[in-house]
Structure 1
Amino acid sequence: MTQFTRRNTLGLMAGAATLPMLGTPALANTKLVVGALPFTSHAASFVAYERGYFAEAGLDVEFKFFQAAQPMAVAIASGDADYAVTAISGGLISLAEKGATKVIGGALSEEKGIDGQKILASDAAFQAGLTSPAQLAGKKWAVTQAGSSFHYMGSKIAQAEGVEVAFTPLQKVGAIIGAMKSGQVDAWSIVPHIAKPLAGSGAVHIIGDVAVYIPDYQVTTVFTSATNAADERAKTEAFLAAFSKGADDFNAALVDKTAGEDAAEDMVKLIHKYVYTDREYEKAKPGIVNGAMRINAGAALNTTSVQDQLDWFKAEGLVKDSVTMDMLVDTSYVSTM
C-alpha cells in the first residue's frame, strides 16, 4: 500500500497548482517591490531573483527589507510593496479585515523530520534553571510586537505547559538578540539559522523545538494587497510561479539534498548575498546550511494551520471576532490543505 507523507502530499498538490500557471500571459518588465526579511527562510524570493525566474516571468523585482512582520503588512496595504513573505500577524489580519491585504500562498513550514524553529533561553536564565519549556513560568518571553508570530508561538508553548509568561515587545529581531545576549529577556523562539549560531556562541541555549508544540505550523505565508489578488491575476500568478521555482531549487539543494554538493554550495553562496552579509562566507555558511527549513512546493498553503492562528488571535482579543478565513485568504491561487 502506498503511503503519503505530508511532503508527498504538498508536492502532488503543488504540481497540480502550477499547471494553470504555465499559461500565464507574458508580462513586459512589470516592476514589483517584494518585501522580505534578511533570513534564510526568505530564500525562495532571493533564488527567483538571482536565477532570473522573476525576469523570465516578465517581472522587474526590487527588494524592500524589513525588520519585523507587521511593518511589512502595512507596506503591502499602503502600496509601498506589492508582494511579501512573512508570518501572519495581528496587523496583517486586521488589514485583511479592512479589505486591504490577502494571503495567497504558503512559504516556510514546520515539517516532521526537518529541523525547525528552536525555543531559546538566555544564558542567564539557563544558568538560573530554565533548561526546558516546562520551566517558563514567570519568565520574560521576547516578541517584536503584540500579535506577532513570536507572541503566537510563545503563547501556544506556554499554554501547552500550563504556565504564564511575560511577553516583552522589543520591535525588531536585532533588538531581541541583543536582549537575549544581555539577559534582559529570558526566552524566545526563532528559525534555526539564527538560533543555532547564537547557541553555538554560548550566548543562548536551545531548550526545545517549536514543532513539538505546533506541528505542521505554517510559519510564513505569501501575501499581497487585496487589489492585486482580485484584479491583477496574471501578475500574481507570474509572481507565485517564479517564487515556486525558487523554492524548488532551495529545497532540492538544502532541504532534500537531492541536487548534489555543488548545487548546495552554489545555493549557500547565493543566499549569503542577502543573509549574514556582515560575515565572511565561511563563517556565514554553517548558519545558512543548518537553518534550511521546508518552503512549500508550489506555494501550497496549510489552511488548517492558518485557521488555528486566526482562532488564537481572536481568542486573545488581538483581532475582531468577525474576521473570517475568506477575509484573510484567497484560496484560488494555490493548493490548500
Structure 2
Amino acid sequence: MTTFTRRKALALLGGSAAAAGLASPALASNRKITVGALRFTSHSGSFIGFERGYFADAGLDVEFKFFQAATPMAVAIASGDVDYAVTAMSGGLVSLADKGAVKVIGGALSEEVGIDGQKFLVSDAAYQAGVTSPAQLAGKSYGITSAGSSFHYMGSKMAQAEGIELKFKPLQKVGAIIGALKSGQIDAWSIVPHLAKPLAGSGKVHIIGNVSDYLPNYQVTTVFTSAKNASGEQQMTRDFLAGYSKGVSDYNSTMIDKAHGDAGVEELVDLIHKYVYADRPREKAAKSIINGTMRLNEGAAMNTASLQDQLSWFQSEGLVDQSISLDTVIDPSYVQTLG
C-alpha cells in the first residue's frame, strides 16, 4: 500500500478539486491515539467519550486535534497525523480513499424528520433585496469551504431541485464564510443549527429554508480512519468505535430524548461547552448548544444510500474519478449499514 506523507496527501487533494456489530472494549492498555474534530456540537460523541472515560475504559488514551474544515482533516488521516475523525464526506476524502489512504467506517450526524437540522442562510442585504426562500437564490453567491465540500454538495442539490444556478465561492474556512455572509460579501450558505440560529439572531443573517427539505435522510458526517487502521488495527478501531458510540448514546438520550430531564441536559451542556463556544460565557453558549442538537447515529451506523448519492454527485461534477465505487470508500464491517 502507498505510504502517504502530509505533502503527498496535499498534492493529491489539489488534483481532486479540478453500535450494532461493535465488539466489547479491550482491557485497558492506555494506547495513545489522536482524534480529529471540529468545535461543533455534532462532534459531541467524541467529547463525551473522552470526558466520561469511555475511551479510557476501552484502553485508549485520546488526544484531540482540532480543524476548521473537512479537507485538512482528511489529509491528516491519510498522512498519519490523526488516527480517527468525524467529518463530512468530501471530494478530497473520496480521492484519498481511491488511493488506498482512508476508509469511512461509520456514520455520525444525520438529518432526521422531526428534528431541527441544517439551515439555508442569506445575508441581510440579500434578504432585504427579496431573497426569502432558496428558490430565489438564482445567480447568487454561495459560500463553501472548497470544491467538493459538504457545503458545495448541499448548495448544489438544492439548486438542482429548484432549477437554478449558484455562484459558489470557496473561502477555505468556516470562520471566513461567516464573516463574508455577515458583511454581505456573499449571499448565502448552509450550516448546522447551533451556528445558524445565533447568526440569524444577530439580524445580519436570515434563515430561509431547511436542508432536510432537499436532503431528508442526509448522512451529514462520517467516522473515518486510515485504510491502514481499518485493515490492520481492527481491535483498536473497534475500541474507538465502542467508546465513541457510548458518547453518542449519552448525547441522544439526554439532548434529544430528554431521558435525564433538564438536569441531564444542563450537565451535558457543561461538558460540551468545554469544546464548543468555549470562548463564550456558559449562559450565552448554552442556548446555542441546545439549539444545535441533531441526532447522531446510534452505534455509528452509516446510511450507505446517502453516501452513494454523495459519491454520485462528486462524479457528476467531475470532482472524482467515475470508476470509484462506494466499496472503495467505505469499510462496512464495523457497524450496521442503513439504506
TM-score (norm 1): 0.94
How far the C-alpha of 1:25 sits from its partner, in A, is 3.1
1:124 aligns with 2:125: yes
Q: Unaligned stretches of 5+ in structure 2?
A: 1-18
How far the C-alpha of 1:27 sits from its partner, in A, is 4.6
Residue of structure 2 equivalent to 1:9: none
Distance 2:199 2:212 in 1: 19
Residues 73-92 of structure 1: pairs in structure 2 closer than 5 A: 73-92=74-93
Tell me, yes or no, if the aligned pair for 1:114 and 1:293 is still in contact at 8 Å. yes
Residue of structure 2 equivalent to 1:230: 231
1:164 aligns with 2:165: yes
Distance 2:148 2:28 in 1: 37
After superposition, the C-alpha distances for 1:22-63 in whole angstroms (9 at most, x for unaligned) are 2x4325111000000000010000000000000010100000
Q: Unaligned stretches of 5+ in structure 1?
A: 1-13
Tell me, yes or no, if the aligned pair for 1:27 and 1:235 is still in contact at 8 Å. no
How far the C-alpha of 1:260 sits from its partner, in A, is 1.3
Residue of structure 2 equivalent to 1:3: none
1:52 aligns with 2:56: no
Where 1:104 maps in the other structure, the secondary structure is strand
TM-score (norm 2): 0.93
Residues 1-337 of structure 1: pairs in structure 2 closer than 5 A: 14=19, 16-18=20-22, 21-22=23-24, 24-337=25-338
Tell me, yes or no, if the aligned pair for 2:121 and 2:205 is still in contact at 8 Å. yes
How far the C-alpha of 1:219 sits from its partner, in A, is 0.2
How far the C-alpha of 1:201 sits from its partner, in A, is 1.2
How far the C-alpha of 1:253 sits from its partner, in A, is 1.1
How far the C-alpha of 1:17 sits from its partner, in A, is 2.4
Task: State the identity as a percent.
Answer: 68
User: Which consecutive aligned stretches of 4+ in structure 1 deviate over 2 angstroms post-superposition?
Assistant: 24-27
Tell me, yes or no, if the aligned pair for 1:137 and 1:165 is still in contact at 8 Å. yes
Q: Look up the equivalent residue of 2:176 and give its one-letter code.
A: A
How far the C-alpha of 1:327 sits from its partner, in A, is 0.7
Tell me, yes or no, if the aligned pair for 2:141 and 2:169 is still in contact at 8 Å. yes
Where 1:17 maps in the other structure, the secondary structure is coil
Q: Look up the equivalent residue of 1:309 and give its one-letter code.
A: Q
How far the C-alpha of 1:171 sits from its partner, in A, is 0.4
Q: Look up the equivalent residue of 1:159 and give its one-letter code.
A: Q
Q: How many residues align?
A: 320
Q: CA RMSD in A?
A: 0.7
